[in-house]
Structure 1
Amino acid sequence: MPRSRQPNRRRFLQTVSAAGAAAVLPASSDRIFAADSPNERPVFASIGLRNQGWVITQSALEATDVVALADVDANILGATAEKMVNEKNTKRPDTYKDYRSILERDDIDAVLIATPDHWHAKIAIEAMYAGKDVYCEKPLTLTIAEGKLIEKVVKETGRVFQVGTMKRSQDNFLKAMAMIRGGRIGDLKRVTCGLKDFQPSPSIPVADVPKGLDWDFWLGPAPKVDYRALPEVREGYGGGVPFHSNCHYSFRNWFAYSGGKMTDWGAHFVDIGFWGIGEKQTAPIEVTPQDFKMGCEYKDGYPVPQDRYNVATTFEVKVDLADGVEMIITSEGDGGVLFEGTKGRFFVNRGKLAGKPAEDLASNPLPDGAIEEVYGGPHTPNHVVNLINSMRSREQPISDVWSHNQMLEICHLSNIAMRLNRSLKWDPSKREIIGDDQASSFMSRENRKGFEIEM
């Protein structure tokens, strides 16, 4: 990666120093939008456009001007630009294969990042040093160390950073939080997070890289490997790509790029569970895998075959928390969260809020302002708009990096525990695994040469 194009900490600090002590933030934060005019439409760009990338780009178009797009797949890059013109009646955005071309622009206030997980930390950190606020899809990180680094850069640069755990902006989950805060189930004792399972893959052979895809750039920080795919095409959400591959959509099933259902859906439902418990009041102290199955054979924490999915396909993990509340993370049952307290229990997911405490809302509704109190202000179901409001106030949004990382550390620890098939003890104050050097080695990873995060 050419150093001259790399936004970094040195350049950021030089910018701040040159501007004087009063200019704490880089140049784009001084734009009229953020500083003075609540009616000014901010200028956004999207990096990573497939599936959720298009979803959040559409959400942003409600209140922003999206002027640039970046993706390493020329097919999805061109198709997304056309959709913006034809379906959303907007001016055709500028398009780039290399996201750094977006970061170099002074007219962009914020970036939306929806790349595969292994790219999140690098792009987000470089964007902050380039003076951009950030919306980054969940799960935010591939490792615990990346989360700590992102927190450091958010604090150093003063950027506003929204994580894409958009269930924090959805009605059912806000009602659930208000019910817990209002004592509707008494003292919380147990939280069960259902994430759903998935099927292991057959052997996936080496295949030709699809035309238009820059495979080396897609891999980026991850190790250099061959592209793999079977010919069957996926239907529905994520359609138009191979059902089994180590790339589009299926990247979630390989530890080199993601963390399986544990981090993909855990970033939603473990987040809601931990939010209900109260992330400021508690922390994990031990993670114990009780029953699980990996997608392939493992040795010393690493997959033996390289030709198939390698994350956990089914699992049940027990998480002991410092205040005595127990959390269970399971692939069984419906996707959602079951909260159990001393006075009752209820289940919540995007389409359901069920149980007697929920039924009682008909005769005993939540008090006025309860949702706003949970949300920290006026509620918007558009998670991107919550970022925009936070950009105006320069306060962190509903899904801030600190609460997200505290929750996601549980998911990362659960994956490490399953890879090694043993319980892990956690020091929440130091954010370290206790007495297990081998497990601790999985808390970070080395980026491939040429794709390092320059600090």
Structure 2
Amino acid sequence: MKSGAIAAAGVAVPYYLTGDKVIADEQKSESANDRPLIGCIGTGSRWDAVGPNAMRLGDVVAVCDVDADHAAKGRQRSEAENKKKGRERKVDVVEDYRKILDRNDIEIVTIVTPDHWHSKIAIEAMKAGKDVYCEKPLTLTIDEGKKICKVAKETGRVFQVGTQQRSEMGQLFLKAIAMINEGRIGDIQKIHVAIGGSPTSGPIPVADVPKQLNWEMWLGQAPLVDYRFKPGGQWGNSRCHYEFRWWYEYSGGKMTDWGAHHVDIAQWGLDQQGIGGPLSLEPVMAKFPTPYADGMPTQDDRYNTPTEFHVRAMFPNDIEVSIRNECNELGFGNGIMFEGTKGRFMVNRGKLVGAPVEELKSNPLPEDAIQKVYKGMTPANGNAHMANFFECVKLRKDPISDVYSHHRAMTTCHLANIALRLDRTVKWDDKSEQIVGDDDANRWLAREARKGYEVTA
């Protein structure tokens, strides 16, 4: 097991290891009933990674998307994967996700929709008795995070958020957290987080809604507005599909798109030293692609999330977490730098560097250091994040990226966006989950959903 190879009749079998259990990725001798049945809600570009990873461990029996072209692609790929594994299993296509939740045979759902749909579908999926794998960021508001945590506790469903940095990327982030846990940089004093800025679009004209797209349902809880599209670049400029990330109506810009990864790692590091949530968030600087008034963009025909920004988040013990679009003066444009009383290091998806990292050559981490921060489990050799989810479904335990830790990280991101949009410091009470002394800012913890698309717990 430790050598990373298992032989069966002289043939190596792919596996993942969690704790003391070994589970084959593709056990072709199993009957179809031995593999969980999956319903995929949302089959756009990001699903091209999530869907195939899930299909290594279960069988997709239904796909859902409000874009018929996406749904057809999802069915074609799912049926091909089923056939490849010797299972001639038909995959149903639906436009309404509730038809997937109504099916008793489906045990697991993947949610790979635009951000503003995550919470509603996830809550209803848990109430329908499904275990959930949902892409990040999980929420559009802090109130949605509170509701998801409430329902997760009530239903006992297993829920993995798609923050793959907690499991994969060569275990660079896991090693970083393990170093903090082992005291290699002493007490954390400051964290620099660089997550990139949002793009600009210029004016985007009103356009005809594509025939295959149910635009009204795509909008969901967001206001009913015209469809807009302008050709250009890889995806074109639009209010839809990949480009939803740059509209506050559907997402939170880079603050939630990449903050869901890097702010999550920053707070995971703070967790190792028992540091709670933020106390205050100060907007040092922001550049928006459109003028703002009372926290709202004054133009509706272009991207509206900030292209550049800097928020200073203060945590207990006078720890500053600086969240910016870039930290080039520190030698990196994307990543996280942890500064402690004994040294500092930087980590991103390509490297883990700094004097404490060099010292590992002569003073390596204990053999169980990764397991300690990975909830007593060992990440898989490949497909680790999804494998961790499926194993936790079997064990009925919280996976490595549970809703509770993700809600804490997203609370910081959402508060940062509130501070940027209102252009003032917000003070946070982590226990009551309320902004202190600012009733106007507190109204931004939730938002009114369009009738028929409310998010209820």
Q: Quickly name the TM-score band, shorter chain normalised.
A: 0.7 to 0.9
In 1, Cα distance between the equivalents of 2:284 and 2:90? 52
Deviations 1:204-233 (A, max 9, x none): 11011122011011001111000001022x
Deviations 1:14-44 (A, max 9, x none): xxxxxxxxxxxxxxxxxxxxxxx9x932111
In 2, Cα distance between the equivalents of 1:94 and 1:229? 30
Aligned to 2:302: 308
Map residues 96-175 of structure 1 onto 2, 5 A cutoff.
Answer: 96-170=94-168, 171-175=171-175
- 1:124 Cα shift? 0.5
1:317 to 301, 311, 314: 311
Asked whether the equivalents of residues 124 and 134 of structure 1 are also in contact (C-alpha less than 8 Å), the reply is yes
Asked whether the equivalents of residues 288 and 318 of structure 1 are also in contact (C-alpha less than 8 Å), the reply is yes
In 1, Cα distance between the equivalents of 2:265 and 2:446? 25
In structure 2, give the amino acid aligned to 1:371.
I
Map residues 206-355 of structure 1 onto 2, 5 A cutoff.
Answer: 206-232=206-232, 234-235=233-234, 241-242=235-236, 244-278=237-271, 280-332=274-326, 333=328, 334-355=333-354
- The answer as to 2:70 corresponding to 1:76 is yes
- 1:454 Cα shift? 4.8
In structure 1, give the amino acid aligned to 2:269.
G
Report the 3-state secondary structure (helix = DSSP H, G, I; strand = E; otherwise coil) of the residue aligned with 1:119. Answer: helix
Report the 3-state secondary structure (helix = DSSP H, G, I; strand = E; otherwise coil) of the residue aligned with 1:411. Answer: helix
- 1:452 Cα shift? 2.0
In 1, Cα distance between the equivalents of 2:81 and 2:57? 16
In 2, Cα distance between the equivalents of 1:204 and 1:436? 35
In 2, Cα distance between the equivalents of 1:449 and 1:317? 34
- 1:339 Cα shift? 0.7
Aligned to 1:22: none
Report the 3-state secondary structure (helix = DSSP H, G, I; strand = E; otherwise coil) of the residue aligned with 2:241. Answer: coil
Specify every segment of 5 or more residues in structure 1 that has no aligned partner in the other structure, as ranges. 1-36, 236-240
1:439 to 433, 438, 441: 441
Aligned to 2:18: none
Q: How many residues align?
A: 411
Deviations 1:398-432 (A, max 9, x none): 11111111111111011111111000000111010
Report the 3-state secondary structure (helix = DSSP H, G, I; strand = E; otherwise coil) of the residue aligned with 2:279. Answer: strand
Deviations 1:55-111 (A, max 9, x none): 111111111112111100001111122223446736442111111110010011111
Deviations 1:251-304 (A, max 9, x none): 011111000000000000000011011175321000001011112101111111
Asked whether the equivalents of residues 276 and 316 of structure 2 are also in contact (C-alpha less than 8 Å), the reply is yes
Mean CA deviation greater in 68-77 or 49-58: 49-58
Map residues 40-51 of structure 1 onto 2, 5 A cutoff.
Answer: 40-51=34-45
In 1, Cα distance between the equivalents of 2:79 and 2:58? 15
Aligned to 2:191: 191
Aligned to 2:424: 422
Superposed CA RMSD in Å reads 1.6
In structure 1, give the amino acid aligned to 2:445.
M
In structure 2, give the amino acid aligned to 1:103.
L
Aligned to 2:367: 368
Mean CA deviation greater in 273-282 or 142-151: 273-282
Report the 3-state secondary structure (helix = DSSP H, G, I; strand = E; otherwise coil) of the residue aligned with 2:317. Answer: coil
Report the 3-state secondary structure (helix = DSSP H, G, I; strand = E; otherwise coil) of the residue aligned with 1:191. Answer: strand
- 1:54 Cα shift? 2.2
Asked whether the equivalents of residues 41 and 64 of structure 1 are also in contact (C-alpha less than 8 Å), the reply is yes
Report the 3-state secondary structure (helix = DSSP H, G, I; strand = E; otherwise coil) of the residue aligned with 2:229. Answer: coil
Compute the TM-score of the two structures, normalised by the length of structure 1. 0.88
Aligned to 1:451: 453
Large movers: runs of 4+ above 4 Å: none
In structure 2, give the amino acid aligned to 1:453.
V
In structure 1, give the amino acid aligned to 2:294.
D
2:401 to 391, 399, 402: 399
Q: Structure 1 residues 454 and 328 mapped into 2: Cα distance closer, same or farther (>3 Å)?
A: closer
In structure 1, give the amino acid aligned to 2:187.
D
In 1, Cα distance between the equivalents of 2:123 and 2:416? 26
Q: Percent identity?
A: 51
Aligned to 1:33: none
In 2, Cα distance between the equivalents of 1:399 and 1:53? 18
Aligned to 1:358: 357
In 2, Cα distance between the equivalents of 1:53 and 1:412? 25
In structure 1, give the amino acid aligned to 2:454.
E
In 1, Cα distance between the equivalents of 2:42 and 2:212? 15
In structure 2, give the amino acid aligned to 1:328.
S
- The answer as to 2:59 corresponding to 1:59 is no
Asked whether the equivalents of residues 172 and 351 of structure 2 are also in contact (C-alpha less than 8 Å), the reply is yes
Asked whether the equivalents of residues 128 and 157 of structure 1 are also in contact (C-alpha less than 8 Å), the reply is yes
Aligned to 1:238: none
Report the 3-state secondary structure (helix = DSSP H, G, I; strand = E; otherwise coil) of the residue aligned with 1:319. Answer: strand
In 2, Cα distance between the equivalents of 1:350 and 1:86? 31
- 1:187 Cα shift? 1.3
Compute the TM-score of the two structures, normalised by the length of structure 2. 0.87
In structure 2, give the amino acid aligned to 1:364.
N
In 1, Cα distance between the equivalents of 2:364 and 2:91? 46
Specify every segment of 5 or more residues in structure 2 that has no aligned partner in the other structure, as ranges. 1-30
